[in-house]
Amino acid sequence: MHLRALPPQAVAMVSTLEEIIAIVRACAEHRTPIIPYGAGTSLECHVGAPQDGVSIDLSGMKRVLRVNPEDQDCTVEPGLTRSALNEALRHTGLFFPVDPGADATIGGMAATRASGTTTLRYGGMRENVMALSVVTADGRVIKTARRARKSAAGYDLTRLFVGSEGTLGIIADVTLKLHPAPEAMSAAVCAFASARGATSTVVEAIQGGLPLARAEYLDAAAIGAVNGVFGTTYPVSDALFLEFHGSAEEVAAHAERARSIAAENGGGEFRWAVETEARNQLWKARHNAGLAALSLRPGARPWSTDVCVPISQLPDCIDATKQDIAALPFPAIVIGHIGDGNFHVILLLDSASPEESDAARRFNDALVARAIAMDGTSTGEHGIGMGKRECLRQELGAAVDLMADVKRAIDPHFLMNPDKIFLSCANAQPT
């Protein structure tokens, strides 16, 4: 089932709030499932239509509705992509930092509680969404909050909808925190003799309070793939991609501390990227590592999974994961936002081979079980979707029943993005 295409019966291209409401009301009347769609970059089958229904394509709703530079916030339509938002902000001195890699839509990022490379310093969507307008399954429109930086007014509906994966309503606009563009930035790549050297460097930096803006790990297989596809010349070994933001003095001081910690952990020279173009190239290589991995086995089907553990557990978790990878009958790479304790494994399997599918499933089960045993989570940022429903139960037990109670209260006919997070049938029984 993993990653199988599950097309809807119809696609509605909407361009206004009123159109969303009209379609939702029509669907509600006919008890037809509704599947919100942004850029289609999610990884756990969030946009599939297992119960048929109408996909509501929000990619045409991409206006910046309002920028408040003096309050460092903005309100945008859900179909705007993060890169288009940052383009629109270019002359304000502000930027929107959340960077999941893909050029996802802001609505999709809110719906899946996206995070990514800069979450270590700026937080993810959980921290950066201030308010949402949402159309619920009965066609009501609610506004979850106003623009105050904090509030104690009632339940935190903003964060209830952030990460609800389209199962509680359709996000119609998003108010976001913005951040001042840092005065100075520098990035560096450092090669290590072992995964342990790279992971320990980041753990020690975090524990020492060093403010890293990005701390990304790529294993040797990922570096090899990146070099092969993009013509880069990084040493083929485990590597850290680091970035520092702040004043020129802070950036220099933080980079020097990082260099010293890396050296104590067997790290090589820092290869610097300070100018914008050089930094962009470096992060392009990082962001496209997953794509580059496809070159390791042309024609293979990629399966991208992720977990997140408390930082002290990260070196052991990655070492054990790499041992499991060594025993797989197909190639795989490990990359991740390890400053948050979060990493991805991309498995490259032959989808025609039941043996390989079984091996991949066993690998993923073991990965999730290990993360949970370390008091971590079955998914740091990809979400539950259809792929990790059983993992969610394994991770949170009876809390999942309470989530289903909330789902039932807000969407009693289970019309909103069915079978994501929970199976609709099991939970749609009247209580």
In the complex, the smallest distance separating the C-beta of residue 322 from its own copies, rounded to whole angstroms, is 20
Residues 7-46: x where in contact with its own copies by CB under 8 A, - otherwise, as a string: ----------------------------------------
Sign of CA dihedral 91, 94, 96, 102: positive
Shortest reach from residue 133's CB to its own copies, in Å: 10
| Using rule CB under 8 A, residue 380 touches its own copies | yes
Q: Candidates 410, 415, 416, 424: give the one binding its own copies (CB under 8 A).
A: 410
| C-alpha to C-alpha distances, 59 to 50, 81, 97, nearest whole angstrom | 22, 8, 21
> Exactly one of 274, 399, 425, 426 binds its own copies (CB under 8 A); which one?
399
54-57 and 10-13: which strand pairing?
parallel
**Minimal distance, residue 164 CB to its own copies, in Å:** 6
304 contributes a contact to its own copies by CB under 8 A: no
Answer for which of 73, 99, 173, 219 binds its own copies (CB under 8 A) is 73
- Closest to 127 (Cα-Cα) out of 150, 107, 155: 150
Q: What is the DSSP letter of 412?
A: T
Structure-block tokens of residue 201: 């460097």
Among residues 193, 274, 406, 425, the one that binds its own copies under rule CB under 8 A: 406
- Interaction between residue 180 and its own copies (CB under 8 A): yes
Min separation Cβ 53 and its own copies, Å: 21
Sheet strand arrangement including 301-308? 267-273, 184-192, 238-246, 214-218, 332-336, 342-349, 301-308
Among 7, 60, 228, 310, binds its own copies (CB under 8 A): 310
Indicate which single residue of 129, 251, 308, 334 sits in contact with its own copies (rule: CB under 8 A). 308
- The interface region with its own copies, picked from 25-33, 258-266, 279-287, 373-381 by CB under 8 A, is 373-381
Binding mask 154-173 for its own copies (x = CB under 8 A): xxxx-xx-xxx---------
Report the residue from 41, 55, 115, 417 that binds its own copies according to the rule CB under 8 A: 115
Nearer to its own copies, 340 or 356 (CB): 340
Contact with its own copies (CB under 8 A) among 3, 84, 403, 423:
403
Residue with structure tokens 């049938």?
425
- CA quadruple 117, 87, 294, 194: dihedral sign: negative
E strand segments, 69-161: 73-76, 94-95, 129-135, 141-143
- Contact between 146 and its own copies by CB under 8 A: the answer reads yes
Q: Return d(Cα 322, Cα 333) in angstroms, integer.
A: 9
**For its own copies, which is the closer residue by CB, 157 or 225?**
157
Report the SS3 class of residue 179. strand
* Residue type at position 233: T
- b/e sequence 204-224, b meaning 16+ C-beta within 10 Å: bbbeeebebbbbbbbbbbbbb
11 vs 426 by CB, closer to its own copies: 426
Long-range CB pairs of 281-284 (<8 Å, 24+ gap) are: 282/187, 282/189, 282/241, 283/117, 283/187, 283/241, 283/243, 284/230
Choose among 313, 327, 329, 300: nearest CA to 225: 300
**Quick one: 55 or 342, whose CB is closer to its own copies?**
342
Restricting to residues 208-237, name those near its own copies by CB under 8 A.
208-209
Q: Which of 55, 105, 144, 201 binds its own copies (CB under 8 A)?
A: 144
Q: Is 388 in the site for its own copies (CB under 8 A)?
A: yes
**From 200-208, 260-268, 290-298, 323-331, span contacting its own copies (CB under 8 A):** 200-208
Identify any residues that bridge with 120 across adjacent strands, giving them in sequence order: none
Q: Measured from the CB atom, is 33 or 376 closer to its own copies?
A: 376
Shortest distance, CB of residue 325 to its own copies, whole angstroms? 21
Which two structure tokens, joined as six digits, stand for 236? Answer: 């083929």
Q: How far is the CB of 310 from its own copies (least distance, A)?
A: 4
Give the residue carrying structure tokens 């960077």: 99
* 260 contacts 182 by C-beta, under 8 angstroms: no
Please give the C-alpha separations between residue 289 and each of 188, 219, 303, 330, 430, in angstroms, as whole numbers: 16, 10, 14, 17, 46
Q: Per-residue contact track with its own copies, 343 to 372, x per CB under 8 A? A: ----------------------------xx
Nearest approach in angstroms of CB 393 to its own copies is: 10
The stretch near its own copies (CB under 8 A) out of 1-9, 81-89, 230-238, 245-253 is: 245-253
Instruction: Work out which of 408, 413, 427, 428 binds its own copies, going by CB under 8 A.
Output: 408
Phi, psi of 140 (to 5 degrees): -70, 150
